[in-house]
Chain A
Amino acid sequence: VKALLSFDTQKVTEPIISAVVLEKKVPLNILRAQINEYGGYVLVEIPNQQSETVLKALRDLGIGVQVKKLIEILRDRCVDCGHCITLCPVHAISYKSDLTVEVEEQDCIQCGRCADACPVTAISILR
């Protein structure tokens, strides 16, 4: 399960993720982390079996937890050029056999390189 965690400005300095990892003894994979003036965002991958307990523990510590769609290709805009394919660091985007560009959402880490580069602004990163 991938979850988008949001930290407010007070919480960004606390070792909350490490605390949950140690307490629940669950390995978390941090895919992306970003801190700005409004707080912090961390995209984590949690093993499916333990996802409920981990997400609850994070919520209890005051962390915003969202499990939702990460990326979307807007079909009415996309021209299937494939410019995004070469830029994806995790190879989540590819051509289907009919040359339609498709994204494997499970692999996306929301780096946003595809969305920045898309010549027709057809990729939406859902944060």
Chain B
Amino acid sequence: MKAAYLRGAAFAKYGTTMYVGLGIPIPILNERLAKKTGVSDAQIKSHVLDYGVPSRNRPVLKETNYEELRSGKIVLGDREIQVTPLSSFKHARKIAETLKKWIEDGRFLITQPVERLSTSRRFKPLDVKEHVGK
């Protein structure tokens, strides 16, 4: 636990928020888990939303993926737009490396679950986004 991994932040015209750096180990117990965790950036889809529309359900302008986003540029319409993550890749890598080292050194051990996630409780889902023009 380090104060550097929990930082207050404020985005202009958005509000206050927090940078929370959390390392989560995923035990690869079987082939299915290996397949699910071994996805590439290109397989992780994301949407470009129109923040000009002041609604929780903002229209989707384009579907993209993390490979394209991480290249630093995406094409929207006929324009090339610079993009960067709002989180910190550098810190994420650092946390992952730290956790990896702890595991390799035998300093981070997995115990029996303290409490299992509920299978009956339902969470209120966010609205499903639909592509504009479809």
Contacts and interface: CB of A to CB of B under 8 A. Distances in A.
B43 interface: no
Interface stretch (B29-37, B86-94, B111-119): B86-94
Interface in A30-85: 79-83, 85
Nearest to A100: B90
Interface in B62-92: 72, 81-91
Contacts of A117: 11-12
A120 interface: yes
Given A81-B84, A119-B11, A99 B89 contact: yes
B118 to A, nearest CB: 33
Interface of B: 7-12, 17, 19, 72, 81-91, 93
12 contacts: A79-B9, A80-B90, A81-B84, A81-B88, A83-B11, A83-B86, A85-B72, A85-B84, A86-B81, A98-B90, A99-B90, A119-B86
